[in-house]
Amino acid sequence: MLHAFFFDSAADRPHSPALWVDGRSYTYAEIEARARHVSSGLAAVERAGDARRCLLFAHRSAAACWGVLGILDAGLAYVPLSPKMPATRIAAIIEQSGAASMLVDRHCAGMLDEVLPLLEAHPQIFLLGEEASDADQLSCASQLQPLPGAPYENRGGTMGDVAYVLFTSGSTGAPKGVPITHANANAYINGQLQLQVGDANARYIQLCELVFDPSVHDMFVCWANGGCLYIPETVDPLFNADFIKRHQITHWNSVPSVAGFMQQMRKLAPGAFPSLRVSMFGGEPLTRSLALAWMRAAPNSRVLHMYGPTEATIACTCFEVERAFLDDARNAVMPLGGALPGVEWMIVDAALEPVASGERGELLVAGPQIAHGYLIPDEAVNSRFVEKDYPGRRARRWYRTRDVARTTATHGLVFHGRLDLQVKIRGNRVELEEVENVVQTCSQGTQCAVIPWPVDEAGRAAGLVAFVASTRVEPTRVLQACRQHLPPYAVPQRLVVVDSLPRNANGKIDRTALAGQLVNDTIANRTVERSGQSMAVHLRA
């Protein structure tokens, strides 16, 4: 079981540091005691229905960690929420989760006043505090209380039980839940333990929020190795460059954009991070120039480029960046590399038939890390999971990534873009249809299209621009409304008002033509309105 990676290390080294957060260090024994308290308290809670899920509304806190472990130890799946999401999105996830209980830390408790009125009925809420008086801060919450005199009981469970549920951007306009089982997570963690040599003195940094699956890697690969997890108070590039040096961090894991910001801030000086031994990047393309800069800054570190959708549990392929590869200037972007232990892949055409070696096609992945489907069955989205036999492959059940890739003889898989309208914004997965649905709703049903912009040479998008075909739209109001429904990274940075949206020969919206409008700096009659960080642009078609 996923949580056993922590509890096994706690049994072996109870007095070793397991967590550093908010200027304080906690041993494995201290975290274990708090997690067992949460577990026993949840076991005493009467839950309605059969939902074996518990919401966790916690942010960069020690309580978040023992909340995760306590929920798992109680035989439940944790469903993380983030205060960085708008209240409407949090409410939508709560309702879709079907969870009967919620744990909340002090940081997030204040936001419940905004979320709860949006729910028809809310789950039982318990405050994750170290003191009983913490519950007094929230009238709708109580303190978890194990049954008096009841000894701790191991709730057991099976590897097929769900460990956690993460919600990704959905093309239908609503977030979709991806349940990951203990077997899925266990396969990934064991694969990482083969990839990385264990070190009980390792110090892992956690930059990712719990609502994104790299957080699972940070916590459980760290604890499986008996290491200490360091959670900085902010993910600001300037702060974290100093954090690495001050705490002698040994293991780094982030999207390339984070390292890119550090490079822009001139924090990747040669030899800046001698303590780093393993540096992992994933979620978006890693460029040659950034990889070179990072390797100079962390000369003692292995650099691993990871790839994998949430449905394939964190990452399913890996490419280890070597100096010889970077010496060839033609290698502008790191490849996806080879499959992790137990993972199989195929490159197929539109009919799901294998393409010839070296040809481009859709990437399918299979193996013990692949999820069984989505939380709410839906024929359209569950069609991403297909059953098919391929010669030379053991697997029969495959996940359609919708990523275009090809195979190479020397570097494994190489990424060549998407088959659909999914993009990554600073490593965050965004379905353009979801953003378009929100923009359309907020602009009272007008036609619209959203494109990633600007896009760099590696295909990484810095943000989004929305085009709306209407003369009645108030761009500032629409953008403000979008902030109430979308996470910050998915809110368009600009709204462009046009007379009509261009169409291609098939009658579909011509997104290339829209990008061309943004490239053309000579477009006449342009008026710019600024509202905070966003910009609305009116164009005469």
Token pair listed for 426: 């600073």
Q: Is it the case that residue 523 has pLDDT exceeding 50?
A: no
Please report how many Cα atoms fall inside a 13 Å half-sphere around the Cα of residue 282, on the Cβ side: 28
pLDDT in tens, 90-107: 999 999 999 999 999 988
| pLDDT value of position 520 | 73
Does 502 have pLDDT greater than 90? no
Residue-wise pLDDT tens digits, 168-208: 887 666 788 999 999 999 999 999 998 877 776 899 999 99
Does residue 357 have a pLDDT over 50? yes
What burial class does residue 519 get, using C-beta atoms within 10 Å of its C-beta: 0-12 exposed, 13-18 middle, 19+ buried?
A: exposed
Average pLDDT over residues 220-243: 92
Contacts of 428 (CB under 8 A, 6+ apart): 212, 283, 487, 489, 490
Residue 234 confidence (pLDDT) above 90: no
Give 376's pLDDT tier (boundaries 50, 70, 90).
Answer: confident
| pLDDT tens-digit map of 182-192 | 999 999 999 99
The whole-number pLDDT of residue 524 equals 35
Q: Where are the beta strands (DSSP E) in 360-481?
A: 361-366, 385-387, 397-408, 412-418, 422-425, 428-431, 447-452, 464-469
Least confident of 3-7, 137-141, 157-161, 471-475: 137-141
Q: How confident is the model at residue 507 (pLDDT cuts 50, 70, 90)?
A: low
Per-residue burial over 429-468, b = 16 or more CB atoms within 10 Å of its CB, e = otherwise: bbbbbbbbbbbbebbeebebbbbbbeeeebbbbebbbbbb
Whether 372 has a pLDDT exceeding 60, the answer reads: yes
Residue 383 binned pLDDT confidence (cut-offs 50, 70, 90): confident
User: Which amino acid is present at 364?
Assistant: L
Q: What pLDDT score was predicted for residue 539?
A: 38
Report pLDDT digits (tens) over 235-268.
Answer: 887 899 999 999 999 999 999 989 988 998 899 9
Contact 225, 372 (CB under 8 A): no
User: Rounded to the nearest 5°, which phi and psi values hold at 220?
Assistant: -85, -25
Domains of the chain with bracketed CATH: 4-233 (3.40.50.12780), 423-538 (3.30.300.30)
- Per DSSP, 525 falls in state S
DSSP class of residue 350 equals T
The H or E element containing residue 104 is strand 101-104
The DSSP line for 379-414 is HHHHTTEEE---TT----EEEEEEEEEEEETTTEEE
Compute the average pLDDT of residues 64-77: 96
* d(C-alpha 226, C-alpha 214), whole Å: 18
Q: What is the pLDDT of residue 49?
A: 55
Q: Could you give the CA distance from residue 222 to residue 202 in angstroms, rounded to a whole number?
A: 7
What is the structure's pLDDT at 393? 94
Taking only the tens place, the pLDDT of each residue in 458-471 is 677 889 999 988 76
The pLDDT, as a whole number, for residue 529 is 37
* Helix 432-442 × helix 475-483 angle, to 10°: 120
Q: How confident is the model over 417-447, as pLDDT tens digits? A: 888 778 888 878 888 888 888 888 888 766 7
**Mean pLDDT across 5-19:** 97
pTM of the shown model: 0.85
